[in-house]
């Protein structure tokens, strides 16, 4: 059985990690670095200074203060290889602070198990989970926030747990038309899974979000169009290592990269979005749209992967309310 588990781990890691490593540099917990909702994915995760509602607990907890209301968020993303990423979150807004909570999960189901070449001996799933609590408050013109996450991973009949901390700061300038944010995300450690520790992918992100309002006239009517441009500089702080079939650790270096996002909203009701990501990646471009019917906003995100990995679709909603 130990040999089978070692072989199984090698096969899974080869499939999940090494196949897309050249272009995506993934580890088992890379779902922590994937945008938590359709809004984030549609702007290529250029979100460090962008308010995402309650989903900010996973990106930059300081941004929880950028909304004047409490909120609930739900999102479902069908990632490549039929990976299902799900997010649910809540933010409770008070006068000068916010409490946030979130659940982020990633599931790959119906893997076939084989001890030897031949018929399958059954099926199993690979699952990852993050349970997060966050707190943010205003300090002068700045918002500061921190979060702690309980992490869980399950591979076949084996499982491991761990923890991660995130913290960030965001400042608003020029009458709130410019936001600048910086965050360190997912600094933590996992327990052993099949005699190995999965690397928690820690990153430092710094970015901005600038707002410009353009008024256009059609047949004598003024149509307000709000345009936002955002950008992030992302630096991995922890080298991502894996071990395959007992071989020496193989380093997968994702390297530094930039992400850019563009958002345009008409009448605060209909929005379109696009994003671009630099570096060695199979998902340079992303797109999305939204419709707002107060107090609910619906989002859709679309990522066309290159080199045959398929396409990603994400849907979600935010519900804003006052206590």
At 268-296, the pLDDT tens digits run 789 999 999 998 888 999 999 999 999 99
Report CA torsion sign: 107, 280, 202, 198.
positive
* Reported confidence tier of residue 2, pLDDT bands at 50, 70, 90: very low
Taking CA atoms, 19 is separated from 24, 117, 193, 282, 316, in Å, by 9, 21, 21, 12, 29
The continuous run of DSSP H or E covering 99 comes out as strand 97-113
Taking CA atoms, 243 is separated from 197, 198, 199, 220, in Å, by 10, 10, 11, 66
Q: Reduce the DSSP state of residue 44 to 3 states and report it.
A: coil
Q: Once rounded to an integer, what is the mean pLDDT over residues 11-25?
A: 35
Is 251 a residue whose pLDDT tops 60?
no
What is the C-alpha to C-alpha distance for residues 186 and 58, in angstroms, rounded to an integer? Answer: 9
The continuous run of DSSP H or E covering 13 comes out as helix 2-13
Is 15 a residue whose pLDDT tops 90?
no
Structural domain spans, the chain = 2-113+120-321
The CATH number for 2-113+120-321, chosen from 2.40.160.60, 3.40.140.10, 1.10.150.120, 2.30.42.10, is 2.40.160.60
pLDDT digits (tens, 9 = 90+) for 154-175: 987 889 999 999 999 999 999 8
pLDDT digits (tens, 9 = 90+) for 23-36: 333 457 889 999 99
Tally of CB atoms within 10 A around 84 = 14
Tokens for 34, please give them. 């994937």
Tokens for 92, please give them. 């409770």
What is the C-alpha to C-alpha distance for residues 285 and 300, in angstroms, rounded to an integer? Answer: 15
Tokens for 163, please give them. 């923890």
Question: What's the pLDDT score for residue 223?
Answer: 74
Is 110 a residue whose pLDDT tops 70?
no
* Reported confidence tier of residue 207, pLDDT bands at 50, 70, 90: very high
Is 243 a residue whose pLDDT tops 70?
no
């Amino acid at each position: 059985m130990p040999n089978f588990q070692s072989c199984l781990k090698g096969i899974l890691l080869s499939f999940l990690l090494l196949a897309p490593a050249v272009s995506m540099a993934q580890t088992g917990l890379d779902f922590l670095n994937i945008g938590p909702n359709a809004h984030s994915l549609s702007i290529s995760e250029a979100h460090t200074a962008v308010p995402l509602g309650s989903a900010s607990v996973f990106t930059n907890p300081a941004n929880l203060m950028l909304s004047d209301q409490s909120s609930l968020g739900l999102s479902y993303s069908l990632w490549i290889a039929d990976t299902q990423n799900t997010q649910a979150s809540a933010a409770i807004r008070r006068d000068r602070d916010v409490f946030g909570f979130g659940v982020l999960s990633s599931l790959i189901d119906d893997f076939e198990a084989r001890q030897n070449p031949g018929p399958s001996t059954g099926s199993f799933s690979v699952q990852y989970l993050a349970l997060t609590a966050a707190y943010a408050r205003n300090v002068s013109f700045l918002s500061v926030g921190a979060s702690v996450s309980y992490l869980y991973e399950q591979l076949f009949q084996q499982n491991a747990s761990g923890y991660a901390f995130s913290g960030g700061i965001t400042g608003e300038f020029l009458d709130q038309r410019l936001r600048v944010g910086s965050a360190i995300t997912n600094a933590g450690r996992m327990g052993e899974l099949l005699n190995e520790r999965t690397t928690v992918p820690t990153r430092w992100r710094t970015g901005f979000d600038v707002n410009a309002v353009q008024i256009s006239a059609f047949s004598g009517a003024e149509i307000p169009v709000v345009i936002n441009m955002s950008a992030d500089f992302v630096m991995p702080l922890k080298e991502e290592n894996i071990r395959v079939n007992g071989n020496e650790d193989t380093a997968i270096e994702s390297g530094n990269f930039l992400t850019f996002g563009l958002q345009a909203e008409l009448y605060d009701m209909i929005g379109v979005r696009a994003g671009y990501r630099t570096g060695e990646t199979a998902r340079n471009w992303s797109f999305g749209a939204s419709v707002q019917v107060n107090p609910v906003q619906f989002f859709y995100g679309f990522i066309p992967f290159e080199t045959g990995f398929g396409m990603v679709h994400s849907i979600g909603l935010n519900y804003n309310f006052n206590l």
